[in-house]
Amino acid sequence: MREGYEVIYQKPKTLTDNKMHYCPGCIHGIMHKIFMEVVEEMDIQEKTVGVCPVGCSVFAYDYMDVDMQEAAHGRAAAVATAIKRMLPDRMVFSYQGDGDLAAIGTAETLHACNRGENFLFIFINNGIYGMTGGQMAPTTLNGQKTTTSPLGRDKKSMGSPLKMTEMVTPLDGVAFAARVSGNNPANVRKAKRIFRKALEIQQQNIGTQFVEVVSNCPSGWKCTPVESMDWIVEQSIPYYPLGIFKEPGK
Amino acid sequence: MPAKGYVEILVDTCKGCGLCVANCPTQCLALKQDDTNVFGYHYSYMSDPDKCIACMNCAVMCPDSVITVYKKKS
Ligand code: SF4
Ligand code: SF4
């Protein structure tokens, strides 16, 4: 360090030193980092348990230095339910992509929310199946081209993209629902505050916490990371508005 | 006048995504066009170090957490 200077930002100690396998510029890495910053700041590393999905973030346990459990495709909500019920003093979260949470795992997700299971869903929505090569997901935007919707998603035959946050918000079991993004520094800082709020609500044991992240997939969208952030602003956020949809006392 | 801050970038874990460059308000970062790291990426470096204001935007946006930000003590 140069003389007369001090460190004001560095990688949180709750992230491992393993090199992440994500493509350059993928928001997964940003979300891993800020969530682990919250875990570090709240001093809950020893009592946090995460559940990984199937999808690009299948190896999240290699990066987040907390206890983690891998779940079968789409079943993270069921596994997180079991962990939280057996170990109620732990802070439990699932980390799932849209192929996992909003396609094969829709039933588990909705029922866990409806039962009001006291854990945090971190839902990374990039509107595509990134890991398997860019196929259409339930969350793919209308008109968006993917390898399985080469002419663009057609609303008539394929339905419109699922708005998961709007779907879970009215459920009695849900205590907190919000949608954030990682497309610019202001939104990343906001997302971090929302993760913290969600975990504080978990400590109050009053219902499920659901945080959707409007994410990117430069590889699947076939653009540069910087272009993908512009695309989020122009295409994703107009359909998936950001904000807090539900919070206790409001 | 010495810069308000500076950043250190881990060359060999940088993937050259360019998010730090795009989000730096004072344009003091760039991707090294004439060199690559061990993985073949054009890594980020301080091309204009005097301009850094220690805002942390670059490090906040870095998906691979390779940036450490330093600020001048007041
Ligand atoms: S395929 Fe897409 S979502 Fe998966 S790591 Fe690469 S950019 Fe991220
Ligand atoms: S701290 Fe701010 S001004 Fe300095 S390099 Fe990073 S983004 Fe640029």
Contact (CB<8Å) A30/B61: yes
In this predicted complex, what is the ipTM?
0.97
Closest residue by Cα to atom 8, ligand 2, is B24
DSSP string, A134-193: SEE-TTPPTT--BTTBTT---HHHH-PPP-HHHHHTTSTTEEEEEEEE-SSHHHHHHHHH
Tell me if A193 is assigned to some domain.
Answer: yes
Does residue A249 have a pLDDT over 90? no
Does residue A150 have a pLDDT over 70? yes
Tell me the per-residue pLDDT of B1-55, one tens digit each, with 9 for 90 and over.
Answer: 579 999 999 999 999 999 999 999 999 999 999 999 999 999 999 999 999 999 9
Q: What's the domain count of chain B?
A: 1
Q: Closest ligand 2 atom, CA of B29? A: 5
Paired residues of A246 in beta bridges: A177
pLDDT of residue B1: 59
The mean per-residue pLDDT over the stretch A2-28 comes to 97
pLDDT of residue A103: 97
Q: Is A107 helix (H, G, I), strand (E, B) or coil?
A: helix
Contact (CB<8Å) B59/A9: yes
Tell me the per-residue pLDDT of A70-114, one tens digit each, with 9 for 90 and over.
Answer: 999 999 999 999 999 999 999 999 999 999 999 999 999 999 999
Domain span holding position A51: 28-246
C-beta of B5 in contact with ligand 2 (< 6 A): yes
pLDDT of residue A206: 98
Give the global pTM: 0.97
Q: How confident is the model at residue A174 (pLDDT cuts 50, 70, 90)?
A: very high
Does residue A166 have a pLDDT over 70? yes
Tell me the per-residue pLDDT of A183-231, one tens digit each, with 9 for 90 and over.
Answer: 999 999 999 999 999 999 999 999 999 999 999 999 999 999 999 999 9
Contact (CB<8Å) B68/A20: no
Give the domain CATH number at A33.
Answer: 3.40.50.970
- What is the share, in percent, of chain A residues with pLDDT greater than 70? 100
Q: Closest ligand 1 atom, CA of A220? A: 2
Judged by its nearest atom, the ligand closest to the C-alpha of residue A228 is 1
Q: Does B68 touch chain A (CB under 8 A)?
A: yes
C-beta of B3 in contact with ligand 2 (< 6 A): no
The mean per-residue pLDDT over the stretch A4-21 comes to 97
Contact (CB<8Å) B22/A229: yes
Cα dist. A69→A14, A19, A50, A81, A118 in Å? 17, 20, 6, 12, 17
Among B22, B57, B64, select the one facing A29 at the smallest CB separation. Answer: B64
Mean pLDDT rounded to a whole number for chain A: 97
Domain span holding position B17: 5-71
Q: Is A48 helix (H, G, I), strand (E, B) or coil?
A: strand
To the nearest whole Å, the CA of B37 is away from the closest chain A CA by 14
The mean per-residue pLDDT over the stretch A24-49 comes to 98
Burial grade of B37 (CB within 10 A; 0-12, 13-18, 19 or more): middle
